[in-house]
Chain A
Amino acid sequence: ILNVEQSPQSLHVQEGDSTNFTCSFPSSNFYALHWYRWETAKSPEALFVMTLNGDEKKKGRISATLNTKEGYSYLYIKGSQPEDSATYLCAFMKGNTGKLIFGQGTTLQVKP
């Protein structure tokens, strides 16, 4: 059974705080890790697709790192804004099959 774990489950921060959360996944047979942001009442939106050990990707104030050997990825948000409030999902790609195994998500609430 492939398990993808995300921590923490929820997070409350003040506007301007920087924050980070973790995604853990199986380190064997790694193909890719996907990050999504899911705002309430909207569609999950792709943030990053990461494939290489040591990879670091950035999109505005959001960045992510990848360690495939130990099986974890970090997502960082610098200077959180209320519009960053969402659930952040990571998903491990099972083989080269298109099948994503999702974590349960980290729900971020940014207070003005």
Chain B
Amino acid sequence: DAMVIQNPRYQVTQFGKPVTLSCSQTLNHNVMYWYQQKSSQAPKLLFHYYDKDFNNEADTPDNFQSRRPNTSFCFLDIRSPGLGDAAMYLCATSRTRTNTDTQYFGPGTRLTVL
């Protein structure tokens, strides 16, 4: 049974056209993360929510925003996608933020920007 679900799996958008990626979880975890992985690079943390508390990484572009309306759902909004935003976007959850907490990942959404 899927525990972290991402929709859609593949998303194509046009340069400058806003796009929203979706993540949902059935684990009732407190923390939800968004990672960006560009081709052949390491996944990079964009931001995370601990409950309703939003934590942005210092180098995440302003073009990227997130919403968490409830425990189960988290959205990644890209306001004006550029060609450089084409990547795999991974959502993950964890129960808390301690060093031993496993993060559970969704299968990712691959974003193409035309």
Residue on A with the closest CB to B4? Answer: A43
Taking A89-B43, A100-B45, A103-B42 as contacts, is the C-beta distance between A44 and B105 under 8 angstroms? yes
Indicate if B72 sits at the interface (CB-CB under 8 A). Answer: no
If A104-B40, A105-B42 touch, whether A42 touches B107 (CB-CB below 8 Å) is yes
* CB atoms of B44 and A43 under 8 A apart: no
Count of interface residues, chain B, beta-carbon cutoff 8 Å: 28
Nearest CB of chain A from residue B57's CB, rounded to whole Å: 8
Contacts of A4 in B (CB 8 A): 42
- Please encode chain B, from 83 to 104, with 1 for each CB lying within 8 Å of some chain A CB and 0 for all others: 0000000100010111111111
| Interface presence of B48 (CB below 8 A) | yes
Q: Is the interface of B mostly helix, strand, loop or mixed?
A: loop
How far, in whole Å, are A103 and B101 apart by their CA atoms in the complex? 18
Contacts of A104 in B (CB 8 A): 40-42
Complex contacts, B90 vs chain A, CB 8 Å: 44
Contact digits for A34-65, partner B, Cβ 8 Å, 1 yes 0 no: 10100001111110010100000000000000
Q: Which residues of chain A come closer than 8 Å to B50, judged between CB atoms?
A: 98
> A102 touching B42 by the CB < 8 A rule?
yes
Which residues of B lie under 8 Å from residue A99 when comparing CB positions? Answer: 45, 48, 57
Cβ B97 vs Cβ A98 within 8 A: yes
Q: Which of A44, A45, A51, A105 contacts B99 (CB 8 A)?
A: A51
Interface size class of A (residues with CB under 8 A): 20 to 34
Q: Is the CB of A46 within 8 A of B42?
A: no
CB distance from B41 to the nearest CB of A (A): 6
- Tell me whether A98 and B102 are in contact (CB under 8 A): no
Query: How distant is the Cα of A30 from the Cα of B101 in the complex, in angstroms?
Result: 15
A86 interface contact, C-beta 8 A: no
Complex CA–CA separation, A9 to B39 (angstroms) = 13
Q: Is the CB of A46 within 8 A of B102?
A: yes
| Residues in B neighbouring A76, C-beta threshold 8 A | none
